[in-house]
Structure 1
Amino acid sequence: MTLKYTVLGAGAMGLRFGVLLQELAGAEVEFVDNWAPQVETIKAQGGVYVSRDHENRHLVPIKIFSPEEYHGSPDVWIVFAKQMTLQDLLDKTAHAFDPASQYVFTGMNGMGHLEKINQYFPADRVAAGTCLIGTVLNKAGDVDFIGKAGAGSINLAAQNNQDAPWLDQLVADFTVANINPHLNHNCEGTLFTKLVFNSVINTLCTLFEIQMGQFIDYQGAERLSRQLINEAFDVAERAGVQLLSTREEEWQTVKYVSEVSNPLHYPSMYQDMSKDRPTEVDYINGYIYDLGKKYDYEASTHDFLRGLVHLAENTRQFRK
């Protein structure tokens, strides 16, 4: 029997997970978002328009609410907010939280979100994952799933690294929904491994406003990637974080996803930048640098790229 889900943060990834669970797994799914245009548009058109690789655009009926008006009671909250908006979204939805009977799965980018979620749910009721799945929110009420059906995968673990029946059922539901989950028992390492990937692809593609395939086409892509990967692994080793991959495997992941899985994809950081929204660079490259400083290590390339992204954010005002 499938679990009942509420997606908290109905952006690109939240919509993808929720729609697939609803359509393929037959799960009962509701959506909550604090971006008013998204909520109002989806309500007005009776659902969300879904495409796959820019084709077969069709309307999928979904139930969406603002945080203040939501009073449902899911088995599991699926959290996909941006790092900068998560606290506000949690606080405004807190009236519907029941940590005695509900659980949380989050697949957000960056680091820092578990600490916010733990204000409302203890670690033994939280699982976190990382997604190698391309999805684009074209505009309010219109989402594009990048890649063929079944493309992409996620790694996930309970925050306390323990097995649990609810997590087994979540994995079963995600499997039927073609999300391709891989369960492990290393939550911190899972999140940090994806952090390394994002610190390369998200940041560099955003700075040059390019797709992942265009990045990997550059003959110097490997050198740039390895420099960032090596710094991030140096930080992880000093902090005692056991990653899911080696340095070589991480480069091969960057190469494969960029060349084969999602060459036409613009990473989420670029999507934010292109729409004049703040990026999550402080929670990605900035997090790596700040963590390194705690162990007297300077991940200077990550800090430099963080500064460049903020420069690019500031420069956009002069294009208008």
Structure 2
Amino acid sequence: MKIAIAGSGALGCGFGYHLQKGGADVTLLDNWEQHINTIKEEGLTISVNGDKDNQKMTICKPHELKEKMDVIFVFTKSMGLNAMMESIEHIIGPNTKVVCLLNGLGHLKTLEKYIDRKNIIMGTTVWTAGIDAPGHTHFNGQGPVEIQNSDPSEKEATLEIVEMLQKSGLNGVYSENVNYTTWRKACVNGTMNALCTLLDANIEEVFQTSEIDSMLTRIIKEFAIVAKHQDNVILDVDETITYLKGVAAKVGAHYPSMHQDLKNNRPTEIDYLNGEVAEASKKLGLEAPYCQQITDLIHAKETILGITTAKAK
């Protein structure tokens, strides 16, 4: 099976590494010249749950890959999804499946501009990753990768990808309600990512504060209201908080991707998380003051750092 990883940063490299070790024919796609050259010359150096390895991998820029792919895993930042899909249209065949594991909300609408719904597979992952240097990454976790076909008729094809993920050690699981898992993952990022970024702390430090229950409750209540109105997804606030604490305990002293982005002067995905909830609330005639405040504060930090924050959907 020919696999492309569209967006080979830390998480993309982690998935590409595992899929290749599991027997798939993997090509990493990225636009970071130094990252590409390092992997071409030295291989991908990766630490997986503390165990270091080096793997020779094929990598190139999106326009340089000419073959049609069987499966494409998308791992861009939310604001980069449009641009990536435009750059890989030539490798998408009539039966190519696109698996979207992006953080955030609203990505199905973007994907449908480029590919038939029957070929779109949505999902979530709780694996975490980071880039230590060009061509050097770390990848941590053990949780599931939950996916579901957007078209009900495509379940068999999705189950094949689940099997491939399992074979590769990525704990593939078929989801019967991907909207629920997507909103639940958005809750993870709308709390952990946002709070760690604002407080300049890792997940362990934030979740040890005496204020954590109060902060989580206020944020999750706003997510839950929009999830119910917009997608008929029911999020139990107390259960979601218990889940978040369990994830935090497993992840420990990790700085999430949003914190890493600001540290490296890159725009964040806040508009696709808390910002999406705040915007959707306004359209519903509701208010989401905590998500709006978090969004404003993150954008204020971006402005202070001179980072362009234009939202592109």
TM superposition score category, shorter chain reference? over 0.9
Give the AA of the match of 2:40: K
Tell me whether 1:155 sits opposite 2:153 in the alignment: no
User: Which runs of at least 4 in structure 1 moved beyond 4 Å after TM superposition?
Assistant: none
Aligned to 2:17: 19
Where does residue 261 of structure 2 map in the other structure?
Answer: 272
1:291 maps to 2:280: yes
What SS does the aligned partner of 1:75 have?
Answer: strand
* C-alpha RMSD of the superposition: 1.7
Does the Cα contact within 8 Å between 1:76 and 1:103 map onto a contact in 2? yes
Aligned residue for 1:114?
108
User: Per-residue deviation at 1:114?
Assistant: 2.0
CA contact (8 A) 1:189 1:241 kept: no
Tell whether the 8 Å contact from 1:136 to 1:143 is kept in structure 2 after alignment.
yes
Shift of 1:162: 4.8
Q: 1:187-207: CA deviations, max 9, x gaps?
A: 333322211221111100111
**Contact 2:68 2:90 survives alignment (8 Å):** no
CA distance in 2, matches of 1:311, 1:180: 38
Residue 8 (structure 1) aligned to one of 3, 6, 30? 6
Report matched runs for 1:1-320 at 5 Å. 3-23=1-21, 25-45=22-42, 47-53=43-49, 55-98=50-93, 100-147=94-141, 151-243=142-234, 245-259=235-249, 261-316=250-305
Query: 1:240 deviation in Å?
Result: 4.0
Residue 7 of structure 1 aligns to a residue whose secondary structure is: strand
Aligned AA for 2:3? Y
Give the Å deviation of 1:83.
1.3
What amino acid is the match of 2:74? Answer: V
Return the offset for 1:291. 1.1
Distance 1:193 1:241, change over 3 A: farther
Cα separation, 2, equivalents of 1:90 and 1:177 = 25
The whole-number CA distance in structure 1 between the counterparts of 2:253 and 2:39 is 26
Deviation for aligned residue 1:113: 2.4
Q: Distance in 2 between matches of 1:248 and 1:158?
A: 29
Distance 1:171 1:102 in 2: 16
> 2:133, 2:232 → 1: CA distance?
38
Q: 1-side partners of 2:244 and 2:175: how far apart?
A: 21
Once residues 95 and 238 of structure 1 are traced to their aligned partners in structure 2, the CA distance between those partners, rounded to angstroms, is 37
Say if 1:162 and 1:185, in contact at 8 Å, map to a contact too.
no
Q: TM-score if structure 2 supplies the norm length?
A: 0.93
Distance verdict in 2 for CA 1:68–1:240, change over 3 Å? closer
Tell me the distance in 2 between the aligned counterparts of 1:247 and 1:162: 33
- Give how far 1:41 is off: 2.3
**SS at structure 2 position matched to 1:71:** coil
Query: 8 Å contact 1:50–1:145 — kept in the other structure?
Result: yes
| Contact 2:146–2:178 (8 Å) recurs in 1 | no
Contact 2:122/2:148 (8 A) holds in 1: yes
Measured after TM superposition, the shift of residue 62 of structure 1 is 0.4
- Give secondary structure in 2 for the equivalent of 1:78: strand
1:294 and 1:160 map into 2 onto residues whose CA distance is 27
CA contact (8 A) 2:118 2:154 kept: no
Give the paired residue count.
Answer: 307
* Deviation for aligned residue 1:64: 0.4
Q: TM-score, with normalisation over the residues of structure 1?
A: 0.91
> Structure 2: 5+ residue runs without aligned partners?
308-313
Once the two structures are TM-superposed, the CA of residue 90 in structure 1 deviates from its matched residue by 1.5
Give the Cα–Cα distance (whole angstroms) in 1 for the partners of residues 205 and 36 of structure 2.
34
Q: Secondary structure at the match of 1:101?
A: strand
